[in-house]
Amino acid sequence: MIKVLVVFALMKMMVPPPPATVAKRADEYMQARLKVSKFSGAVLVARDGVPLFAKGYGFANYEHDVPNTTQTKFRLASVSKQFTAAGIMILEKEGKLRVDDPVSKHLPNVPDKWKDVTLHQLMSHTSGVPENLSKALIKGMWPQPIEKERLFDHLKESPLDFKPGEKWSYSNTGYALLGQVIEKITGLSYGDFLKVRIFEPLGMHDTGIDNRRLVLKNRANNYGTFMGQLSHAIYIDLSQVYSAGSMYSTVGDLLKWDNALYTDTILPQSSLERMWTPVKNGYGYGWLIHRRFGRLRINHTGGLPGCHTFVNRYPGSHVLVAVLCNLEGSPFDKVADALAAIAHGDPYDVPVVRVEAKIDPKILDKYVGEYELRPKVAIQITKEDEKLRAKFPNQNSRLIMTPESETKFFTKAAELTIAFEKDDKGKVTGIVVHDVGRDQRWKKVK
Q: What is the pLDDT of residues 344-362, one digit of tens each?
A: 999 999 999 999 999 999 9
What residue ranges of the chain are covered by domains with CATH 3.40.710.10? Answer: 74-344
Residue 2, pLDDT above cutoff 90? no
pLDDT of residue 133: 66
Fill in the amino acid letter for 292. Answer: R
Task: Give residue-wise pLDDT tens across range 92-120.
Answer: 999 999 999 999 999 998 988 999 999 99
pLDDT-based confidence at residue 12 (cuts at 50, 70, 90): very low
Q: What is the CATH number of domain 361-444?
A: 2.40.128.50
Residue 10, pLDDT above cutoff 70? no
Give the whole-angstrom CA distance, residue 275 versus residue 313.
14
Query: SS in 3 state form for the chain?
Result: CHHHHHHHHHHHHHCCCCHHHHHHHHHHHHHHHHHHCCCCEEEEEEECCEEEEEEEECEEECCCCEECCCCCEEECHHHHHHHHHHHHHHHHHCCCCCCCCEHHHCCCCCCHHHCCCEHHHHHCCCCCCCCCHHHHHHCCCCCCCCCHHHCCHHHCCCCCCCCCCCCCCCCHHHHHHHHHHHHHHHCCCHHHHHHHHHHHHHCCCCCEECCCCCCCCCECCCEEEECCEEEECCCCCHHHCHHHCCEEECHHHHHHHHHHCCCCCCCCHHHHHHHCCCCECCECCCCEEEEECCEEEEEEEEEECCEEEEEEEECCCCEEEEEEECECCCCHHHHHHHHHHHHHCCCCCCCCCCCCCCCCHHHHHHHCEEEEEECCEEEEEEEECCEEEEECCCCCCCEEEEECCCCEEEECCCCEEEEEEECCCCCEEEEEEEECCEEEEEEECC
Q: What is the CATH number of domain 74-344?
A: 3.40.710.10
Task: Give residue-wise pLDDT tens across range 117-148.
Answer: 999 999 999 999 988 766 665 556 667 777 77
Task: Give residue-wise pLDDT tens across range 317-335.
Answer: 999 999 999 999 999 999 9
Q: Please indicate whether residue 141 or residue 297 has the higher confidence score (pLDDT).
A: 297
pLDDT of residue 134: 62
Residue 418, pLDDT above cutoff 80? yes
- Environment class of 68 (CB within 10 Å of its CB; exposed 0-12, middle 13-18, buried 19+): buried
Region 240-262: mean pLDDT is 97
pLDDT of residue 156: 75
Residue 8, pLDDT above cutoff 60? no
What residue ranges of the chain are covered by domains with CATH 2.40.128.50? Answer: 361-444
Average pLDDT, the chain: 92
